[in-house]
Amino acid sequence: MRVLISFLVGSVFGLGLLVSGMTDTTKVQGWLDVFGNWDPTLAFVMMGAIIPMAIAWLFSVGRKPVLANAFPARPEPSVGRNLVLGSTLFGMGWALSGLCPGPAIASLGFGGVGGLLFLGAMLAGMVVAPGVRLRLDRVAAAV
Amino acid sequence: MPIDWIMGLAGGVLIGLAAALFLLVNGRIMGASGIIGDLVDGSGRHDWLERAALIAGLVLVPGIAAFATGGSETNLTGNWAVIIASGLLVGVGTRLANGCTSGHGVCGISRLSLRGIVATAFYIGAGGLTIVIFRHVLGVI
């Protein structure tokens, strides 16, 4: 049942990305292009997504998930080096192509060779990430 | 264009409903980089089938919907060097930060998570600066 729900979640997520236009890299780059031809669409997408999710979080208080024992614990509100550096690197990559992980996967069916190339590079980046994290820790410990 | 904004809002609601369903039923955070990244590094091996099912829906449904409605365009750059650099940065960055637009942006901000808000500020800020440099100064993208 959890597997079926997961498939349904991926399906609705993907449909939402397609409908919202977030699989179109020009819209994403347009959102980031504040000093050029700015496109505010992404703000509407975020607003539309955050509202149902905020209601879901509120609803989850004092309850249990239908098919799990507990809701994910709230992470420590710590803003560390990895969060800041990682988000900065991610933002740079996001801007260069206009793709982030969700839309990159959702557009595989029509994204052509370029989309596959991006996915391959992204997966390679994910493979080396633990090593990068370890090296950063070592550098930080030595300083 | 207002029609794009309305479609954006409607699509956004679908994304939010998907995330809400994943949370309330499976008790999980719908973060794209985590769902696929934990498969890459092996930490998500125990529930690989759920992850694979989500990814399958994420690939198949928009693919079929795009095909059924006459195709869709990603308008991705044809510059392979840019694509590879972009993919590597997105892969490393989202794993270091433990989340991307869906995990930190949608799921984090909606519970007023400090980490989600800070991450989103940094990736949008870095993205905006990258567009200034690579589009308006260097003219690469």
Tell me the pLDDT of chain B averaged across its residues: 97
Residue of A nearest to B90 (CA): A90
* B72-97 tens-digit pLDDT: 999 999 999 999 999 999 999 999 99
DSSP state of B108: I
- How far is Cα B108 from Cα A71, in angstroms, rounded to an integer? 14
pLDDT of residue A143: 82
* A92-109 tens-digit pLDDT: 999 999 999 999 999 999
Would you write out chain A's pLDDT as a tens digit for each of its 143 residues?
Answer: 999 999 999 999 999 999 999 999 999 999 999 999 999 999 999 999 999 999 999 999 999 999 999 999 988 888 999 999 999 999 999 999 999 999 999 999 999 999 999 999 999 999 999 999 999 999 989 98
Q: Which of residues 75-104 of A touch B (CB under 8 A)?
A: 75, 77-79, 82-102, 104
CB of A15 closer than 8 Å to CB of B127: no
Residue of B nearest to A78 (CA): B115
pLDDT of residue A77: 85
State in Å, rounded, how far the first CA of chain A is from the last one.
50
Average pLDDT of span B109-117: 97
Helix (H) or strand (E) holding B127: helix B114-131
pLDDT at B48 over 90: yes
The model's pTM is 0.97
Nearest to A123 by CA among B55, B129, B122, B54: B55
- The alpha helices in A21-80, defined as continuous H runs, are 25-32, 41-60
The closest CB to that of A45, out of B8, B27, B128, belongs to: B8
- How far is Cα A121 from Cα A119, in angstroms, rounded to an integer? 5
Rg of chain A, C-alpha, whole Å: 18
Average pLDDT of span B100-125: 97
Residue of B nearest to A58 (CA): B111
AA letter at A9: V
Q: How far from chain centre, in Å, is Cα A78? A: 20
CB of B74 closer than 8 Å to CB of A115: yes
The closest CB to that of A93, out of B93, B107, B114, belongs to: B93
Q: How many CA atoms lie within 13 A of A93 on its CB side?
A: 30
- How far is Cα A32 from Cα B114, in angstroms, rounded to an integer? 22
Nearest to A51 by CA among B68, B135, B9, B125: B9
pLDDT of residue A27: 97
SS3 B82: helix
Residue of A nearest to B83 (CA): A118
ipTM above 0.85, yes or no: yes
The closest CB to that of A33, out of B115, B126, B135, belongs to: B135
Q: Cβ contacts of residue B14 below 8 Å, gap of 6+?
A: A12, A13, A15, A16, A19, A20, A48
Distance from CA of B42 to the nearest CA of A (A): 10
pLDDT of residue A76: 85
Residue numbers in A near B29 (CB within 8 A): 72
Asked if A134 reaches chain B (Cβ–Cβ under 8 Å), the answer is no
Residues in chain A: 143
pLDDT of residue A130: 96
pLDDT of residue B128: 98
What one-character-per-residue DSSP string does B104-115 give? IIIIIHTTT-HH
pLDDT at B1 over 80: no
The closest CB to that of A19, out of B7, B110, B119, belongs to: B7
Residue numbers in B near A131 (CB within 8 A): none
Residue B36 phi, psi dihedral angles, 5° rounding: -85, -35
Distance from CA of A141 to the nearest CA of B (A): 17
